[in-house]
Structure 1
């Protein structure tokens, strides 16, 4: 895929689970942020899209593809096409690597200005993310995702839970190609996430990170039973914002009264996550800074590190970074 993108001078919208999120200049990590702005997104409208594998995780990217009017060619090894928006023009079943090689033999590159436009935008976005998150005195939720991805050793596994963890990895993390990425993307995304990570760590015998929210962690905390006795190298990072953080980004937050929203969606808790993890015989600690998290993640597991955050501040943080990226990308056009 990287060779084809270089040959065609096409950008790669690099989903963190797809193995394409590298330092390759064509690998675009932060498009989700600037494609939120219709005026900016209009400058990046494609004519043809080659989709390798399943749908992107990003709702913004999927919506942009749907509205682009582009001819979308989906390539997958499976004959079952996932196309909820019914915007795929052609579905090709086969080995993606072989098909990419075949395309290279019969195509010529487009004008370099197209890929350079994407690369300028991506460079501006990366600078904003680094300036905002790499120097923060107190860890934010985006900073947790970014630090964890950067700190885990080469060839480690990283299991990313649903809701905000997978989105924060997608929006703010750097290159992920030194890691083996995993995520449960089912209907009930918080079911069995801890157990999934334990299984991956035990079976692979490789260092394994888990980024998970507090609700998902409590939902499957019994997955920690017995891992200390088996010396499973699982390094869990729990974002504890006292509830379901993703719902603060959804429309019901603005339409419901605070008490009703908290009861139905925020679902605040008073659980001592450090104490719960320690009760399973697992080493535990709290991290408040990037350095504290970095130090914790570098230690072999099993261990649980809890990072306490604020749901209200998290919404503001995301909006500030997204708006800064939009402004920076707009300045490159």
Structure 2
């Protein structure tokens, strides 16, 4: 048989693995070219049941896979060659691990007899990602024995199911000896056989957690609160927090839902809290006696300071079983949420004016913000956010870069009902554009990325994968001349060191960079250009860069003005 011929061994081994992944419902694979991974690459190329994406830079490829997993809740598979190729996955592996995103890394490797001898392109890849994976398996060299093939199939199942159930990264390491390329006839035969499998409906592996029921004592404590508050940080698909609105209704509690929380808008959700909670003079008027926390640690400095101030208040953190979240060390009780919370037929004791206080603070802050958001030259980051968020289509998703964009959304943006994504696991600026590309690939609908100039330049290799995007993806670059997030820190006062070592303004011509990648670029420098430009670009398929030249000083002045807002007491 052809499959038992030595030349076909690596390809046959890889084909067994690829078919097993298909049986588990895997749909996306992101492949970075390489020699040692040839058999794996060809095995995926021979199977039409997968959506294949080619990323020549492994770091960008990994963040693209992260974006796919972030949107779908299922892992995308990464394929790379041996050596430092897999090491370039590490930043995305860390982000996936800490934000609860499923991902599968498949690294090709030199066979064991090359290891430790200084052989070219050979490093120690065993458990390369340390404790950041939920599953690791050294697959072993191709083996035709039936038990070995059964173990390979099981490894594929383990990688998928553990990645989903534990919300993290699986890593399989494949050592290969030459030859990697199969006989041409055998390749064609496998393609023909795969078509039969591809025509079958793709199975959908789902991990159902069911309902989680808590006792009467627990609920009696909750409903006795007169000033309950719900705080929801960024979440992942595995968090299962669809019950938040019902919980808020039961307790009559305000909900502080951050961008990326995916909490639907209701009369209980509060906007603008990153503005009016910055001023600690407002805390007395909005003083909670019970705080229920869900999702990741909040991004908002205002919310985190509020939680610290309320460290004597009963705070309960409901956590994903795979992630312990309490970065502020302020919660008195932690509950592992193993399913959607089953809410009994009870009624809370919140005072009638409690939610009204928060709604009044929201309304007054919005009016105050409107007074400060006006056309100016130069335009401000906040003005760009406010104008674009007004016109983003309901069906479009939004991705926010770290640094100021993720914070400015809470301060300036109205995100009622909008689908917003963030990378807050490790909160780095690496791979932001690539993550947005992955979201676009998986969502197959229009999308918007808000990113600063430094974060954009940090991930320019993402532009190499722009061809993978078929729907409109508008990259809104807030070019304020460097890393202005550092202006929030005391180091900003050390003027002779600050600009050179921290803000680091760059002289890169982003328009020229876009032309080099054959990507549409539009420069915006006047207020009246913002909506007209965005409305045009969001209708055009493909990746478009909308570079907004904003004033760093003016933007900071505007933020400080909003942070100083004072809530008037309720009558």
TM-score (norm: length of structure 2): 0.53
Output aligned runs, 1:98-117, within 5 Å.
98-99=341-342, 101-102=343-344, 105-117=345-357
Question: Per-residue CA shift, 1:241-294, capped at 9, x if unaligned?
Answer: 11101011211112x1x2311111110111111221222111111123454222
Question: Hey, what's the Cα distance between the residues in 1 that align with 2:431 and 2:303?
Answer: 28
Distance 2:339 2:287 in 1: 24
Deviations 1:298-317 (A, max 9, x none): 22242101111122222111
- Structure 1 position 163, deviation (Å): 0.1
Matches within 5 A, 1:41-80: 41-68=283-310, 69-80=312-323
Q: How far apart are residue 41 of structure 1 and its match?
A: 1.3
Task: Look up the SS of the partner of 1:169 in the other structure.
Answer: helix
Q: Using a 3 Å threshold, how does the CA distance of structure 1 residues 140 and 21 change in structure 2: closer, same or farther?
A: farther
Aligned residues of 1:78 and 1:93 also touching (Cα < 8 A): yes
Equivalent residue, structure 1, for 2:399: 159
Corresponding residue number in structure 2 for 1:174: 414
Match of 2:476 in 1: 237
Question: Over residues 155-192 of structure 1, what are the superposed CA-to-partner deviations in whole Å (9 max), with x where a residue is unaligned?
Answer: 21211100001010111111342x32111124361111
Q: Does 1:189 align with 2:428?
A: yes
Contact 1:16 1:176 in 2 (8 A): no
Greater RCO, CA 8 A, separation 6+: 1
Partner residue in 1 for 2:551: 310
Listed as ranges, the gaps of 5+ residues in structure 1 are none
Hey, what does 1:261 align to over in structure 2?
Answer: 498
Size of the alignment, in residue pairs?
Answer: 322
2:534 aligned with 1:287, yes or no? no
* Equivalent of 1:9 in 252, 268, 271: 252
Distance change in 2, residues 1:96/1:149 (3 Å): farther
8 Å contact 2:474–2:545 — kept in the other structure? yes
User: What residue is the counterpart of 1:28 in the other structure?
Assistant: 270
Q: Distance in 2 between matches of 1:243 and 1:119?
A: 36
2 CA distance for matches of 1:242 and 1:151?
A: 26
146, 151, 165: which one pairs with 2:386? 146
Q: Determine the structure 2 residue equivalent to 1:204.
A: 443
SS of corresponding position for 1:6: helix
Change (3 A) 1:252 1:164: same
The superposition leaves residues 34-65 of structure 1 with CA deviations (integer Å, 9 ceiling, x where unpaired) of 22222221221211111122222112211211
3-state SS in 2 of match to 1:225: helix
Mark the CA change 1:331 to 1:88 in structure 2 (over 3 Å): closer, same or farther: closer
CA pair 130-3 structure 1, distance change in 2 beyond 3 A: farther
The answer to whether 1:89 aligns with 2:328 is: no
1:71-128 CA-partner distances (Å, limit 9, x unpaired): 11112332532112322122222256434x23xx234231111111111111101112
Task: Give me the whole-angstrom Cα distance separating, in 2, the residues matched to 1:176 and 1:147.
Answer: 14
Q: Distance in 1 between matches of 2:470 and 2:279?
A: 48
Report the Cα distance in structure 2 between the residues aligned to 1:222 and 1:211, rounded to whole angstroms.
Answer: 17
Alignment partner of 2:332: what SS? Answer: strand
Tell me which of 358, 377, 380 is aligned to 1:118: 358
Cα-Cα RMSD = 2.1
Determine if contact 1:205/1:233 at 8 Å carries over to the other structure: no
Query: Secondary structure at the residue paired with 1:129?
Result: helix
C-alpha deviation, 1:147, in angstroms: 2.5
With over 3 angstroms needed to count, the CA separation of the structure-2 counterparts of 1:176 and 1:281, relative to structure 1, is: farther
- Farther off after superposition, 189-198 or 50-59: 50-59
Give ranges in structure 2 of 5+ residues lacking alignment.
1-243
SS at 1:46 equivalent: coil
